[in-house]
Amino acid sequence: MTTAERWTQTVRQQLGLGRLLPLGGAHDGAWISERAAEAVLRRAAEEMRGVRLGGLRIALTDPEDTHEAAVPPPPSALPPGPLRVTADFATTASEPLPATAERLRALLATAATERLGLTVTDVDLRVTALLDEDAQPAPVRQPEPARAAEPGSPDEERIAAVALAVPGVIRMTGTLGGLGRAVHIEERQDEAALPHRHVRVEIAVRADHRAVDVAREVRKKVAQASADHPTVAVLITAVG
């Protein structure tokens, strides 16, 4: 593969992530790709017979109702704040549509909160079609983010090892920022503060662990393992 082809593939992968959504609150320093979160919500919706999700998006409920993150966020990430899920769905006529919509709304909100740790305050649904009674749910394709390249320095290798040792972490991934790197280390100079290092770690997590809890533990362990206690941000790009 040529250099141009590699960069083209990288750009496509980054665009495929969708929005980078805040996990937890302003002090959690964690984000998840919209694509990864969407796959979890779609798998949850499969639990409802006679319902098939169409388009689904997750965005800030109110761009004015946000908070400054306690650590530098990943490039283009949304700031911490309440989120809205917007989805289309098709369903059978086995029960009144408002009742089906209410059950689906509750299911999606619960999955977002309990399986991931997203602060979802609104779920807007729209019925787009009626299905036959024996309709089967559409299969959910689990996103497969780019696997991380080999660490570029001893520091990156050590941080990756610490992150991988946290329960719930499946592997390091390398989609955001190019070059396939899972660990990004940079020197930062903030106003009225001494220069310090900032670390961003990109991971995939297990579906049977709550995503935000895994991210919090990764942040804690990475900061503790470094003598200078850098600020740490975590980006989850796959759950499964």
pLDDT digits (tens, 9 = 90+) for 141-166: 666 666 788 888 999 999 999 999 99
pLDDT digits (tens, 9 = 90+) for 111-142: 999 999 999 999 999 999 999 876 666 666 66
β-pairing, 20-23 vs 30-33, is: antiparallel
Name 239's bridge partners. 205
Q: What is the pLDDT of residue 12?
A: 43
Q: Are 206 and 183 in contact (CB under 8 A)?
A: no
Q: Are 188 and 197 in contact (CB under 8 A)?
A: yes
Q: Which pair of tokens denotes residue 203?
A: 């991971």
| Mean pLDDT score across all residues of the chain | 89
Q: What mean pLDDT do residues 205-230 have?
A: 96
Mean pLDDT is lowest, of 10-24, 67-81, 168-182, for 10-24
Domains along the chain?
A: 3-22+143-239 (3.30.70.1350), 34-130 (3.30.70.1350)
Segments in the chain forming alpha helices (H): 3-16, 34-45, 97-110, 154-164, 211-224
Q: What is the pLDDT of residue 8?
A: 37
Provide φ and ψ at 34, rounded to 5°: -60, -35
Q: What mean pLDDT do residues 35-42 have?
A: 96
- Please name the residue that has the structure tokens 């009742």: 99
3-class DSSP state for residue 26?
coil
Q: What mean pLDDT do residues 174-179 have?
A: 74
Q: Which pair of tokens denotes residue 209?
A: 């662990």
